[in-house]
Amino acid sequence: MPIPTELVGSLPRPMKLQEAYQKLDDGEIKFEDLQELQEEAAQDSIKRLEQTGETYVTDGEQRESSFATYPITDTLAGTGLADNLAGDGQFFAIFDDGHHRQLPRLTGGPFRYKTFASEFVEKNKQAASKPVKQAVISPSMMMLLYPLDEELEGYSREEFLNDVCDEVEKDIRRCFEAGAERVSIDFTEGRLANKNDSRNPWTGRDMLQDFIDLNNRVLDRFSAEERKNIGIHTCPGGDNDSVHSREVPYEKLLSKMFELNAGYFLIQCASESDKESVYKLVGQYSRDDANGVPQVCFMGVINPLTPEVETPEQVKNDLVLAAKYIPVERLGATDDCGFSPFSRDEKPAHGSPDFARDVAMQKISARLEGTRMASEELGV
């Protein structure tokens, strides 16, 4: 079988759409007006991804406030926030360029999603002629909505985590029911968990094992057959062309991450200074049998944070080298991250999000062609 390839999920939102998010926050337009522009951008994403020949298509997350907050708020500024949440939670991440992203704060129970990703899948299925995938957020990211140190009155941490697992399970099941063929879980907080950033207390609490255990509580509710198509995405962040945790030694995460009983992994690698050592670690720690499923390792061969387009030759060479360490039947190719996980992202290294959207398509085409060339060279 040729080496499989898959995108993470998001694409840059057109500037016109980003401005509409702002106008909704400012009360200048209605939610329906925003939705019209989201729809237009989503249709365009699907059409353009299909033109590249991408295996599974997405709407580029054009309808989502972000990869992490789509279930609980309509905009990043908190317009349309779900019940029992306030806007002033902890920082999710502080990025290398100094900007940060903040999560809402849970004020009481119960915790419920207001939007499930299956709503997007249903719409995308109607527009697409190719198979559809959907990215969803991890239970471990939702875990950060609960205050770090206090217990909420009348709603214990354990009750909350039970609710989180139920909501995430529903989110995944409903995506499959709506016709998604693949569902990947965004787990960008994994590497960040070992950052020990004094400005961001949760990153100093050694939470990685708790994250993995919580995510496995959800994964273990699915059969091996279902888990073949449930993935985990890891990265050091990707927002405004900046990262949050690339300096954290990768082995701290990779030595633990494959404890997750997922059938595939979308692993940032193209932007690493020593890619070969990452292939080695992935080969060393990934498993042939994770409770009944082999772990297929999709290595990042494209960096979505730079405007320079990788060549198919570069992609091919990366994959051929990766195959020295990762069994080729468990090797895949992906991008290091979504191209724009947050709805407000001006893509400064690119000059504009509209240009970055064009660049993303060229990068995806290079990944597809390079992966084809690698399969040919490796004889698979």
* Number of residues forming the site for Zn ion (CB under 5 A): 3
Length of the chain equals: 380
| Smallest gap from residue 284 Cβ to Zn ion (A) | 22
Q: Which is nearer to Zn ion, 338 or 370 (CB)?
A: 338
Q: Whole-angstrom Cα distance, residue 237 to residue 367?
A: 20
Is residue 338 within a helix (H) or strand (E), and if so which, with residue range?
none
Parallel, antiparallel, or unpaired for β 85-86 and 105-106? antiparallel
Give the tokens for residue 32.
């329906």
Residues 296-335 as x/- pattern, contact with Zn ion by CB under 5 A: ----------------------------------------
- The piece of 155-163, 228-236, 242-250, 291-299 that touches Zn ion (CB under 5 A) is 228-236
Choose among 61, 49, 55, 76: nearest CA to 10: 61
Do residues 318 and 378 touch, judged by C-beta distance below 8 A? no
Q: Which is nearer to Zn ion, 20 or 262 (CB)?
A: 262
Q: Which is nearer to Zn ion, 75 or 340 (CB)?
A: 340
Do residues 192 and 268 touch, judged by C-beta distance below 8 A? no
Residues 188-217 as x/- pattern, contact with Zn ion by CB under 5 A: x-----------------------------
| Smallest gap from residue 347 Cβ to Zn ion (A) | 15
Q: Whole-angstrom Cα distance, residue 77 to residue 225?
A: 39
Q: Which is nearer to Zn ion, 89 or 300 (CB)?
A: 300
Give the tokens for residue 159.
């009750």
110: preceding bond cis by omega (within 30 degrees)? yes
- Side-chain-side CA neighbours of 205 within 13 Å: the count stands at 11
| Smallest gap from residue 111 Cβ to Zn ion (A) | 24
Choose among 209, 338, 214: nearest CA to 268: 338
Q: Which is nearer to Zn ion, 71 or 375 (CB)?
A: 71
Residue 235 touching Zn ion (CB under 5 A): yes
- The piece of 173-181, 197-205, 232-240, 299-307 that touches Zn ion (CB under 5 A) is 232-240
Q: Which is nearer to Zn ion, 161 or 305 (CB)?
A: 305
Q: Which is nearer to Zn ion, 178 or 301 (CB)?
A: 301
Under rule CB under 5 A, which residues in 161-190 are in contact with Zn ion?
188
Measured at the alpha carbon of residue 279, what is the angle toward residues 136 and 95, in degrees to the nearest 5?
A: 50
Contacts (Cβ under 8 Å, ≥6 apart) of 314? 301, 366, 370
| Smallest gap from residue 116 Cβ to Zn ion (A) | 21
Q: Whole-angstrom Cα distance, residue 103 to residue 336?
A: 23
Residue 68 touching Zn ion (CB under 5 A): no
Rule CB under 5 A: choose which of 68, 178, 337, 356 binds Zn ion. 337
Give the tokens for residue 230.
């449930």
Q: Which is nearer to Zn ion, 42 or 266 (CB)?
A: 266
Residue 17 touching Zn ion (CB under 5 A): no
Binding residues for Zn ion (CB under 5 A): 188, 235, 337
